[in-house]
């Protein structure tokens, strides 16, 4: 099943394990298990799932803002593990959302509301102190939009987070020294608070391109060390302050380009 959407040609492919992969112009965006939404196939999504599980016990409703929607894998996970949760998804591609709803229907009374707006604009419309989690997982042409990693954007995230709220951001890097991740860590630490990053050791050592999950809060973040050891593949947990070092925060006034995934890195 495929359809032309605002961001390209979208198609949903059935997999041998019963899951479905959403691709846009050949790039995998999400993998969904309609029979078991707790099954998160993508490694980075499992790490975000670990954060959600550490922040709130199962069955405890939470309020979540998702910046980026795709096939709504993470909102589905939250809806099943924490029924009656209030979730707002900021996804500007209305055609993509309509296609996903048709090809991969949401369960009834899921509590998932999709707003056709960009992440930057959508976050500014959220109420103060209204969210337990803000999850950033948005890409344009396999790069995180630059206006979603600046001090000004994270200040809006801080405004909508509750005092114990947590920011979770899916980022990518692979350059020697991880310059983008270090500067984003410095930005998040300055604006949101202390936290950690979750990534494979080879990524943190600058020996490969891949996902880095950034977690921060005004309060101490949960200990994810054991979750990282149990994960397959395992991931390391590094304090933001250690990664940020003396890096300068990113701002709207600065012209910068975020890393773009090399061809075929995230394609399968």
b/e per residue, 154-184, with b = 16+ CB within 10 A?
bebbbebbbeebbbbbbbbbbeeebebbbbb
What pLDDT shows up at residue 219? 96
**Considering Cα of 262, then 229, then 81, then 129, what sign does the dihedral take?**
negative
What pLDDT shows up at residue 268? 46
Q: Mark the ranges of the chain whose per-residue pLDDT is less than 70.
A: 263-268
| CATH number assigned to the domain covering 37-244 | 3.40.50.150
What pLDDT shows up at residue 43? 95
Domain boundaries, the chain: 37-244
pTM over 0.75: yes
146 φ/ψ angles, rounded to the nearest 5 degrees: -60, -30
How many Cα neighbours within 13 Å face the side chain of 62? 30
What pLDDT shows up at residue 265? 59
């Amino acid at each position: 099943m495929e359809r032309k959407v605002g961001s390209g040609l979208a198609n949903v492919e059935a997999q041998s394990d019963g899951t479905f992969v959403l691709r846009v112009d050949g790039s995998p965006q999400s993998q969904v298990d309609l029979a078991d939404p707790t099954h998160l196939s993508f490694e980075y999504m499992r790490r975000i799932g670990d954060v959600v599980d550490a922040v709130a016990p199962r069955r405890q409703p939470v309020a979540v803002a998702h910046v980026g929607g795709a096939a709504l894998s993470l909102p589905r996970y939250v809806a099943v593990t924490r029924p009656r949760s209030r979730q707002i998804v900021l996804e500007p591609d209305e055609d993509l959302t309509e296609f996903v709803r048709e090809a991969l229907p949401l369960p009834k009374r899921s509590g998932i509301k999709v707003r056709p707006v960009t992440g930057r604009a959508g976050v500014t419309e959220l109420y103060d102190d209204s969210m337990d989690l803000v999850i950033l997982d948005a890409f344009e042409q396999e790069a995180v939009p630059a206006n979603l990693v600046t001090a000004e954007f994270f200040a809006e995230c801080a405004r909508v987070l509750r005092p114990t709220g947590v920011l979770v951001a899916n980022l990518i890097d692979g350059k020697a020294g991880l310059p983008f991740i270090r500067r984003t860590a410095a930005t998040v630490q300055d604006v949101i608070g202390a936290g950690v990053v979750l990534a494979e050791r080879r990524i943190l050592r600058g020996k490969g391109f891949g996902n880095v999950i950034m977690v921060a809060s005004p309060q101490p973040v949960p200990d994810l060390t054991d979750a990282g050891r149990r994960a397959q593949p395992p991931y390391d947990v590094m304090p933001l302050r250690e990664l940020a070092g003396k890096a300068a925060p990113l701002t709207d006034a600065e012209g910068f380009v975020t890393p773009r995934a090399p061809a075929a890195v995230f394609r399968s």
